[in-house]
Structure 1
């Protein structure tokens, strides 16, 4: 049942669907604008130091490339976003939020950002390359996961969400497409285009229709509780093979979410059904994870009784799926994308570049 029709509401910041700037002589993407930048290891970098290997993701206003460092021979993911499209789609703030959040976080289950840069046409973000591919692909191929497999991924995701919330960050885009597996089979959350540091509540309608919490749809203002709702949807989808609320159009999905009616497949474990019900509570004040004890309430739920929470962030749980990865730069776990030429865009005028001067 898993299909990749799900797209972000308002923004697909970082989930990509367009072409690349290509060198007509080789057909391979070129990285223009090689100003030097400094990486976390204090080495000075420039785009000239990176060879493009392949495209591993495309979306509304950019691409993700696998790149190879010419000096160290290491691999990275380079996200290149078209500035004219970012401006046209009014995504400037989301792009800045993504950088701000990724600059602040450091956790084994979250993608790392190494440096950012922009020229007259693109914004660049250099990040971890995670060769195992998307959890979505494994779910689509298997139809659904068994209870133990769902339990493993849920435990690692709980730790990632708990960490983000401890830093007052709401993730807002939990779904199988945004969970990558590393070469050993552990998760990395990626695509922080919707993530935001919260002072109080926020009112932006963003996310993926099937995963939106009721308070987002109703524009009541929302906070970290939306991530626990999304985890309930994700656990249901992992174990059932389809999300709990689905329809042919977003409005139909929203109506079902607000009605809150759950039909569980008969094979689901008793305790996981109880956990999902406690996440998919319309009243966020009563939603598991959003009460006084926060993530501790989630960890103490009976479905997780076999989990030793101390070893989860140490990556010591045994992954149920180990991706086939032949080497660090293996792209076989990602879809193949044509390296067609990107539309020739006019460089952005200096006044428009002002908004990105600190990027």
Structure 2
């Protein structure tokens, strides 16, 4: 019996460590919180929290899944906002004294949901500071309001203007909504048959789920999705400044100041993603788009995954030159893999090429496993820049800057960023190093020219794996 109790206490401690709310608290305090956690079970379909009701309880999901819904003020219908699973948490506003629930939480698992529960009174007796509490749902109402603009939009309402990109997956087209010539969007068109052939179904569904929720000035917006018998469609924010890779190709490399600005934009995107337990896993200049103001945004979330806090994933993915050693060695990886890739990006922007680049992927992986200390860093790279690259590209993920107790702020406080105006970046008042010329909402001059599609139409795919797309 004692052994069972100890195991349960250890498991509760592990859950608490994975929640940003409690990250950084002393072990003694965590242990006390673990002692007062209660276990609760909810049957499939049972309401755990009701919107508008008063509550004083915080929940961590120990087993199963729940869905978060909000009532539409106009139609009174419940709209599903997101799904939460083991390790996720909700109701944290109750610990701050805000006791009116802003969303419904409903058990959505056939075998039911198990939660670890703590009430406000017990919590306040154990801890006095609430500064680190995360407000996960603070902008959900805003999200629903913005997206309602596109709720009734149909694929037939879009007019194709030009091609922005072509790949094995399909194409990206610049489109406009009928009768609105002042705005344009990027329509990513994916061949369903190709997705199945390359076994990318889960990746595509992850991409949709993560991007449709994302609200960051440093991440490309996904406004709406469509599907038919042959294709999936993602209607995205159009960033008409083109790819950062194109600018890098034309210039050869960037100076310290320019690299710092673009790296900082990536850091801000990671702040947003990592605080939500999302690992990106595909950082490279090709996936950084310039908007018309010269700020960059992360795009292409095909490898992104919500792993939760304190958990790892084992999927092998990424661009060879940017893959972290723990991915190559199949040791499991988490957000620290993104810090590795940030170091690689810095090196490529400063020098024009990544530090590990062999004639084929296997040789590239072997170079990566030799480590960053085996790389000759060009003299033109400043001492502080080289220092940050090396601290981000440590072989041991636990040793990487950004992964310690101070989190990603450790990167922002590094000497290379000394004096950098982070507030100006977030407020978009900081002047970017390069402002692309974009003369209109349909100006594609910053993209390469692509021929019209000549392929035969792909076969239909009616297997239903994309029913939630």
Output the TM-score relative to the length of structure 1.
0.87
Of 37, 45, 57, 2:165 maps to 57
The offset of 1:213, in angstroms, is 0.4
Match of 1:58, SS state, is strand
2:315 to 204, 210, 230: 204
In the TM superposition, residue 158 of structure 1 has moved relative to its aligned partner by: 0.8
CA distance in 2, matches of 1:149, 1:281: 24
CA distance in structure 2 between the partners assigned to 1:87 and 1:296 by the alignment: 40
Q: How many residues align?
A: 319
CA contact (8 A) 1:63 1:79 kept: yes
1:71 lines up with 2:71 in the alignment: no
How far the C-alpha of 1:259 sits from its partner, in A, is 0.4
1:298-345 C-alpha deviation (Å, 9 max, x unpaired): 011000002122222111221111101111111111111101323223
Paired residue for 1:135? 244
**Residue 93, structure 1, aligned to residue 205, structure 2:** no
CA contact (8 A) 2:150 2:223 kept: no
CA–CA distance in structure 1, aligned partners of residues 388 and 452 of structure 2: 44
SS in 1 for 2:206: helix
Whether 2:460 is the aligned partner of 1:347: answer yes
1:281 Cα shift?
A: 0.2
Contact 1:39/1:45, CA 8 A, preserved across alignment? no
Equivalent positions of 1:8-23 (< 5 A) are none
Contact 2:392 2:401 in 1 (8 A): yes
1:116–1:124: 8 Å Cα contact kept in structure 2? yes
Q: 1:126 to 1:249 in 2, by over 3 A?
A: same
Counterpart of 2:365 in 1: which secondary structure? helix
CA contact (8 A) 1:40 1:114 kept: no
* Structure 2 partner of 1:255: 366
Separation (CA, whole Å) in 1 of partners of 2:446 and 2:419: 30
Greater Cα shift, 54-63 or 38-47: 38-47
Partner of 2:445: 332
Report whether the alignment pairs 1:357 with 2:459: no
Q: Aligned in 2, Cα 1:346/1:326: closer, same or farther, shift over 3 Å? A: same
**Partner in structure 2 of residue 144 of structure 1:** 253
Look up the SS of the partner of 2:175 in the other structure: strand
Deviations 1:75-125 (A, max 9, x none): 000011011111111110000000011122100010001111111000011
Q: Secondary structure at the match of 1:136?
A: helix
Higher strand share: 2
2:410 to 284, 291, 297: 297
Q: Deviations over 1:38-67 (max 9, x none)?
A: 953155111111110111111112111100
Q: TM-score under structure 2 normalisation? A: 0.67
Q: Gaps (5+ residues) in structure 1?
A: 1-37
Cα deviation, residue 195, structure 1: 0.6
**Higher gyration radius (CA):** 2
What is the distance in 2 between the residues matched to 1:175 and 1:51?
30
Does the CA contact (< 8 Å) of 2:274 and 2:335 recur in 1? yes
CA RMSD after TM alignment: 1.2
- Runs (4+) of structure 1 moved beyond 2 Å? none
Q: Determine if the alignment matches structure 1 residue 314 to structure 2 residue 427.
A: yes
Kept after mapping to 2: 8 A contact 1:152/1:317:
no
For the residue of structure 1 that corresponds to 2:217, the secondary structure is: coil
Matched, 1:225 2:333: no
Distance in 1 between residues matched to 2:303 and 2:387, nearest whole Å: 29
Which stretch of structure 1 is more off in the superposition, 118-127 or 309-318? 309-318
